[in-house]
Structure 1
Amino acid sequence: MLRETPEIQLDLAVTGMHCDNAYGNTIHIIEQDNFNIIKVVDININTTSHTHILHSMSVCLNSFGDFFSNNTYDAVMVLGDRYEIFSVAIAASMHNIPLIHIHGGEKTLANYDEFIRHSITKMSKLHLTSTEEYKKRVIQLGEKPGSVFNIGSLGAENALSLHLPNKQELELKYGSLLKRYFVVVFHPETLSTQSVNDQIDELLSAISFFKNTHDFIFIGSNADTGSDIIQRKVKYFCKEYKFRYLISIRSGRLFGND
Structure 2
Amino acid sequence: MNVRRIMVVTGSRADWGPLRPVVRAMSSDVRTESLIVVTGAHCDPRLGATASEIEAEGVEIARRVPLGDGPMSDQMARDTQGVGEAFRELTPDAALVLGDRYEALAAATAIVAEGGFLAHLHGGEITTGAIDNQFRYAITALAHLHLVATKGARTRLVAMGERPERVIVTGAPGLDGVVAPLAAGHGSSEPFVLVTLHSETLGGDPEEQARTLIEALDRVGRPCVITGANADPGGETINTVLRDACEQRENWTFEMNLGATRYREAMTRAACMVGNSSSGIIEAASFGLRVVNIGSRQDGRERSGNVADVAWDAEAIATETRRAIDAGRWSGDNVYGDGRASERIVEALATVDLTDRTKPFSPPSTRLG
Alignment TM-score, normalising by the size of structure 1? 0.83
- Does 1:89 pair with 2:99? no
Matches within 5 A, 1:66-105: 66-105=85-124
Aligned position for 1:41: 65
Q: 1:5 to 1:201 in 2, by over 3 A?
A: closer
Residue 239 of structure 2 aligns with an amino acid whose one-letter code is Q
| Partner in structure 1 of residue 235 of structure 2 | 227
Does residue 187 of the first structure (1) align with residue 198 of the second (2)? yes
Residue identity opposite 2:273 in structure 1: L
**What corresponds to 2:54 in structure 1?**
30
The secondary structure found in structure 2 opposite 1:209 is helix
State the alpha-carbon separation in 1 of the partners of residues 192 and 33 from structure 2: 46
Taking a change above 3 Å as real, the CA distance of residues 162 and 32 of structure 1, as seen in their structure-2 partners, is farther
Higher relative contact order (CA 8 A, sep 6+): 2
**In the alignment, what sits opposite 2:358?**
none
SS at match of 2:154: helix
Distance 1:72 1:136, change over 3 A: same
8 Å Cα contact 1:74/1:97 also seen in 2: yes
The secondary structure found in structure 1 opposite 2:71 is: helix
The amino acid across from 2:254 in the alignment is Y
Q: What is the alpha-carbon distance in structure 2 between the residues aligned to residue 7 and residue 209 of structure 1?
A: 54
- Quote the offset at 1:167 in angstroms: 0.6
Cα gap change, 1:160 to 1:109, in 2 (>3 Å): farther
Aligned-residue RMSD, C-alpha: 2.5
Q: Which residue of 2 aligns with 1:237?
A: 245
Which residue does 1:173 correspond to in 2? none
Deviations 1:12-33 (A, max 9, x none): 1111222233443332333244
| Structure 1 gap segments, 5+ residues each | 169-176
Give the TM-score normalised by the residue count of structure 2. 0.60
Structure 1: distance between partners of 2:33 and 2:80: 24
Residue of structure 2 in register with 1:202 after alignment: 212
Superposition deviation, residue 227 in structure 1? 0.8
> 1:255 aligns to what SS in structure 2?
strand
The change in CA–CA distance for 1:110 and 1:135 in structure 2 (over 3 A counts) is same
Please report how far the alpha carbon of residue 5 of structure 1 lies from its aligned counterpart in structure 2 after TM superposition.
4.0
For the residues of structure 2 that align with 1:239 and 1:29, how far apart are their CA atoms?
26
Amino acid at match of 1:225: P
Task: Give the secondary structure class of the aligned counterpart of 2:193.
Answer: strand
In 1: Cα distance, 2:235 partner to 2:191 partner: 27
- Same amino acid, percent of matched pairs: 27
Q: Deviations over 1:97-137 (max 9, x none)?
A: 11000111112231111111111011000010111111112
Q: What is the Cα deviation at residue 140 of structure 1?
A: 1.9
Residue 74 (structure 2) pairs with residue 59 (structure 1): no
Which residue does the alignment assign to 2:226?
A: 218
Which deviates more from structure 2 when the two are superposed, residues 126-135 or residues 34-43? 34-43
For 1:203 and 1:43, locate their aligned partners in 2 and report how far apart those are by CA, in whole Å: 30
Q: Deviations over 1:63-82 (max 9, x none)?
A: 12233344433211111111
Give unmatched runs, 5+ long, in structure 2: 1-24, 278-369
Question: Match for 1:131: what amino acid?
Answer: T
Structure 2: distance between partners of 1:31 and 1:11: 13
Question: Do residues 153 (structure 1) and 172 (structure 2) align?
Answer: yes
Amino acid at match of 1:86: L
- Take 1:162 and 1:148, find their aligned partners in 2: how far apart are those partners? 32
Measured in 2, the distance between the counterparts of 1:103 and 1:189 equals: 20
Aligned AA (2:244)? Y
